[in-house]
Amino acid sequence: MQNTLAMILAGGVGSRLNILVRMRAKPAVPFGGIYRIIDFAMSNVMNSGLSRVAVLTQYKPLSLMGHIGDGSAWDLSGRTREVKILPPRTGEDDSDWYKGTADAVRQNLDFIESRSSEQVLILSGDHVYHMDYREMVRFHKSIGAKVTVAMMTVPWEHTSQFGIGILDSEGRIVDWEEKPEQAKSNLASMGIYVFDTDYLMHALKTTTETDFGHHILPKALTDRELYGYVFNGYWRDVGTVQAYWEAHQDMLDPSSELDPGTWGIVTNMENGAPPYDLPPARITPDATISRSAISCGCDIRGKVVNSVLSPGVVVEEGAVVEDSIIFHAGRVKSGAKVSKVVADKNVIFGNGSVVGNPDATSINQDFPKHLVSGISLIGKGAEIPDRAVVGGNCIVYPLVSVSDWPGLILQDGETLRPAG
């Protein structure tokens, strides 16, 4: 793998995650208690023996950049090992931002040219999965491909969300459709590509097209240089609130393949974030915990069911947390009940409050495509007043204080923003 250069695309807005990405890039969103989404790609890189990595950032990158640091957490710091953060270039055009996946790589061709390589491995930084890239690169080289796409079978009803390919008996892609309304196959692109370096350089220098799926891969198909590598493990795009919540449910399911510990997923615990200096979780004799993941520094005196708690979460006496994801330093006060909620960092649930209605039938009025299944979102630093009632498919924006509440009831599908 010394001749393979990895480039992780981590600049997407991820708007379907709604308020979870108002203050951070999508790959920097916490996952599974102690991780961030990008930890999966970074750890796969480490575990696959890659030593040179570029992370292409764009949208709200500071949290992500701080998390990656110098790459030491993933053994990517040293004389022959590196992780390089590549923000968009300031150019002569009106916009400095990357215009698509291919444009992001094109703007950094000088980085590729300065690092001798035979292959370039292009990855997405916002997927949850475990993959040994050595096997894919080995397949790419053995078949004599110029471009190889990692692919896996998805449910037919999801094919409109992906690039879809049809393979011949040798693994060559003979037909390609990008997000088709009526797909001919359910073999979908995972957004993971291996390019021969020379082919990639030529492809990007001889066209101004901006996207791999829409433009570069169809050209490789025409050249008969496009192959598919079929992957059979766990992989999930967590780009929607529903998918993000479901992935956490998978993590709590013993029969699921999603197991960050077994996969060797690591995170940066030395980036100055205080939660990682916290003591072990404290669970009192009166507490009840079932089918949940509890992180360091948590103080559990109430009931936690089917939930994931990040470091420093407090659940007081008589409080109940079920089917929920609570980020760092959340506090669920006495008598509060939290059901099917995703709460960002430093959220306070007031005494006796009831937050969430899994049976809600009213979708969110402001974001009808984001919240439809009863999940409610609570933004970073928000406060839920004592005895407040918040329905399902609701959104409470970051930094909403008790004084911002016009009353104590937020009906199903409603959104509350800070006053003024």
pLDDT band at 278 (very low <50, low <70, confident <90, very high): confident
- pLDDT at position 276, please? 59
What mean pLDDT is predicted for residues 156-176?
Answer: 92
What mean pLDDT is predicted for residues 142-164?
Answer: 93
- The upper half-sphere exposure of residue 344, i.e. CA atoms within 13 Å in the direction of its Cβ, equals 24
Does residue 210 sit in helix, strand or coil? Answer: coil
Among 337, 347, 364, 363, which Cα is nearest to 400's?
A: 347
Please write the tens of the pLDDT for every residue from 172-197: 999 999 889 998 999 999 999 999 99
Percent of the chain surpassing pLDDT 90: 80
Whether the CA torsion 315, 321, 326, 332 is positive or negative: it is: negative
Answer yes or no: is pLDDT of 272 > 60: no
Lowest mean pLDDT among 49-53, 146-150, 176-180: 176-180
What mean pLDDT is predicted for residues 6-20?
Answer: 90
Answer yes or no: is pLDDT of 401 > 80: yes
- pLDDT at position 309, please? 98
| Domain positions in the chain | 4-252, 273-416
Answer yes or no: is pLDDT of 367 > 50: yes
- pLDDT at position 1, please? 77
Q: Which helix (H) or strand (E) holds 246?
A: helix 241-252
Taking CA 247 as the corner, what is the angle to CA 242 and CA 253, rounded to the nearest 5 degrees?
125
Question: What is the 3 state secondary structure string of 28-91?
Answer: HCEECCCEECHHHHHHHHHHCCCCEEEEECCCCCHHHHHHHCCCHHHCCCCCCCEEEEECCCCC
Please write the tens of the pLDDT for every residue from 122-136: 999 999 999 999 999
Q: Could you tell me which residues come within 8 angstroms of residue 275 by beta carbon, excluding any fewer than 6 positions away? A: 295, 296, 297, 310, 311, 312, 328, 329
pLDDT band at 257 (very low <50, low <70, confident <90, very high): very high
The CATH number assigned to the domain with range 273-416 reads 2.160.10.10
Q: Could you tell me which residues come within 8 angstroms of residue 330 by beta carbon, excluding any fewer than 6 positions away? A: 309, 310, 312, 313, 314, 343, 345, 346, 347, 348, 349
Lowest mean pLDDT among 60-64, 257-261, 286-290, 315-319: 60-64
Amino acid of residue 280: P
The reply to whether CATH 3.90.550.10 applies to domain 4-252 is yes
Mean pLDDT of the chain: 92
